Amino acid sequence: MEKKPDNKVIKVHDRDNVAIIVQRGGLPAGTRLTNDTILKVAIPQGHKVALAEIDKGGVIVRYGEVIGTATCDIPRGGHVNETNVQLPRAPGLHDMPLATRSMPEAEPLEGYTFEGFRNPDGSVGTKNVLGITTSVQCVAGTTDYVVRRIKDELLPSYPNVDDVVALNHTYGCGVAINAPAAIVPIRTLKNISLNPNFGGEVMVIGLGCEKLQPSTLLSDQPVKIYENTEAADPDANILSLQDESFSGFEDMVNGIMAMAERHLEKLDRRRREICPASELVVGMQCGGSDAFSGVTANPAVGFATDLIVRAGGSVMFSEVTEVRDAIHLLTPRAVDEEVGQALLDQMAWYDDYLEQGQADRSANPSPGNKRGGLSNVVEKALGSIIKSGNSPIVDVIGPGERIRKRGLTFAATPASDFICGTLQLAAGMNLQVFTTGRGTPYGLSMVPVIKVATNTALSQRWHDIIDLDAGRIATGDASIEDIGWELFHLILDVASGRKLAAADRLGLHNDLVLFNPAPVT
Ligand code: CA
């Protein structure tokens, strides 16, 4: 095969009959590619070219898997995109191979550490943050106001505390609080306050008349969260604005400030200490994906996933709608049949949820994904699940549940960036890795978010928003392993506070967005 770097295409698997264009700005009609295919039309960067004649009804294969069938005859050198690819049926959820893959035990990875805030319950934080939980949206303006005052007036006296964050959200009232699915937003709120970065210092601001009573957020969770701390009086950690002892707004603010100060005193005593990499709990996510996601950033993330798992750490991958169409490739990787079945149960729950809303999976990918070269959700899924590396799947948790095991967990969440992020926070992640092809300034104030670009054009254009350029894999300047190791080291540096992720340096932080599958009343 003749090598002409400008005319390079990426074919992932031997069986593939399409490849993607690497050249920035795309290639014009008539271009002879490195594999001698001549482009029939101009094809943008990241988009697919047919490497062989594909007859109408013929299969289109990428990643060695069928991503769809041709809706018309496509010539060799033709542009393959959402207009000429028919979405295949989703794999059924019965008779799936469960826990059938036998893999040799991966070699343990020892000696890697980071400096984190160890909590008395054993969990480890990567930031030291005072989180102010709220039971209802009504109080959001007040908590924002108080957070500004705390930052100005109190925080300078507590130099070991990194930040103060109001955990505002749109839930709490006007909702069917007893509907079965309401368990999802409620447990999400409870579990977010248990995130290791908050050091167990839970305080709740409520209104008083809301459906979600503040005490619910503390009820079946011991107020004494950590073994070695004194059990606190639950009422001492809840403040309701309608409390009749308050006379005017300033009184409420003073009450919240006094409560915050008690927690700041405790948080200020936290210190970073050397912790093994096994204390990492990393959430993997992608957003604004393009056709490079599945060949550069996501495989590198998958390599880093395997490194963290080998080091004894915990990794979550999520985004049900982007996993659904590749579920047959995941169920064999479950450690046992129970975990395999739990994966299928989460897919079935989401199928049902979408059906109730008369939505279907073709709502994904987004228009931006399509412009980036992704034709449909199958192609997106194949490129997305690569983030999970090659490790066995040890556990499956539902939306808003806490992670239970070390190793690779599937944390079921919608693919929505901010909802997935919120649910991974509730699951207990202490760092998130986010891959993007189209670009997003996404960030979270509670945990560091490392953003990995799938292509060098984005990394250069957004040089101060992107943390790592995985596009070097497409240009041949780095291997998947190189970027995977680079990411692993970057994770340890950011978790230690030695390096700031771009989103934290710039203060780019998204809102918490709860997943509420229950009715709003
Ligand atoms: Ca996403």
Binned at pLDDT 50, 70 and 90, residue 365 comes out as: confident
Q: State whether the Cα torsion 57-58-62-63 is positive or negative.
A: positive
Question: Smallest Cα–Cα separation from 510: which of 452, 432, 399?
Answer: 432
Task: Assess contact for 316 and 429: CB atoms under 8 A.
Answer: yes
pLDDT tens readout for residues 429-448: 999 999 999 999 999 999 99
The mean pLDDT of 293-319, rounded to a whole number, is: 97
pLDDT, mean over the chain: 92
CA 160 to ligand 1 center in whole angstroms: 33
CA 324 to ligand 1 center in whole angstroms: 14
Rounded to 5°, angle at Cα 204 from 199 and 209? 165
CA 130 to ligand 1 center in whole angstroms: 27
Give yes or no for residue 230 having a pLDDT over 60: no
CA 118 to ligand 1 center in whole angstroms: 29
Count the neighbouring beta carbons within 10 Å of the beta carbon of residue 71.
13
CA 402 to ligand 1 center in whole angstroms: 19
Give yes or no for residue 3 having a pLDDT over 50: no
Backbone angles phi, psi at 62, to 5 degrees: -140, 150
Query: Would the pTM count as exceeding 0.75?
Result: yes
CA 478 to ligand 1 center in whole angstroms: 25
pLDDT tens readout for residues 309-351: 999 999 999 999 999 999 999 999 999 999 999 999 999 999 9
CA 286 to ligand 1 center in whole angstroms: 5
And the tokens for 117?
Answer: 């805030």
pLDDT at 223 (0 to 100): 39
The mean pLDDT of 414-440, rounded to a whole number, is: 97
CA 513 to ligand 1 center in whole angstroms: 13
Backbone angles phi, psi at 433, to 5 degrees: -115, 130
CA 158 to ligand 1 center in whole angstroms: 35
Q: Cβ contacts of residue 156 below 8 Å, gap of 6+?
A: none
Residues that place a CB less than 5 A from ion ligand 1 = 287, 415, 417
Question: Smallest Cα–Cα separation from 497: which of 433, 448, 432?
Answer: 448
And the tokens for 97?
Answer: 């191979």
pLDDT at 6 (0 to 100): 63
- 103-131: buried (b, 16+ CB within 10 Å) or exposed (e) per residue? eeeeeebeebbbbbbbbeeebbbbbbbbb
Rounded to whole angstroms, the Cα distance separating 201 from 208 reads 21
The mean pLDDT of 4-32, rounded to a whole number, is: 87
**DSSP-derived secondary structure for 252-278:** HHHHHHHHHHHHHHHHTT--EEEEEGG
And the tokens for 411?
Answer: 């944390």
CA 514 to ligand 1 center in whole angstroms: 14
pLDDT at 219 (0 to 100): 53
pLDDT at 217 (0 to 100): 85
CA 215 to ligand 1 center in whole angstroms: 32
CA 435 to ligand 1 center in whole angstroms: 9
The tally of CA atoms less than 13 A away on the side-chain side of residue 344 is: 21
CA 319 to ligand 1 center in whole angstroms: 6
The mean pLDDT of 338-365, rounded to a whole number, is: 90
Q: State whether the Cα torsion 69-375-360-185 is positive or negative.
A: positive
**3-state secondary structure at position 86:** strand
Question: Looking at 7-16, 127-136, 248-257, 330-339, which range is the least confident one?
Answer: 7-16
pLDDT at 2 (0 to 100): 40
CA 385 to ligand 1 center in whole angstroms: 12
For the sheet with 238-240, list strands across it: 163-167, 129-134, 203-206, 238-240
Question: Looking at 104-108, 250-254, 494-498, which range is the least confident one?
Answer: 104-108
And the tokens for 469?
Answer: 């350029």
CA 284 to ligand 1 center in whole angstroms: 9
The mean pLDDT of 391-416, rounded to a whole number, is: 97
CA 436 to ligand 1 center in whole angstroms: 9
CA 237 to ligand 1 center in whole angstroms: 34
Task: Assess contact for 159 and 226: CB atoms under 8 A.
Answer: no
User: What share of the chain in percent tops pLDDT 70?
Assistant: 95
Question: Looking at 54-68, 95-109, 256-270, 353-367, which range is the least confident one?
Answer: 353-367
CA 384 to ligand 1 center in whole angstroms: 9
Question: Tell me, what amino acid is at 91?
Answer: P
pLDDT at 120 (0 to 100): 86
Task: Assess contact for 182 and 509: CB atoms under 8 A.
Answer: no
For the chain, the helix, strand and coil percentages under 3-state DSSP, each to the nearest 5: 35, 20, 45
CA 465 to ligand 1 center in whole angstroms: 18
CA 388 to ligand 1 center in whole angstroms: 14
Task: Assess contact for 195 and 130: CB atoms under 8 A.
Answer: no
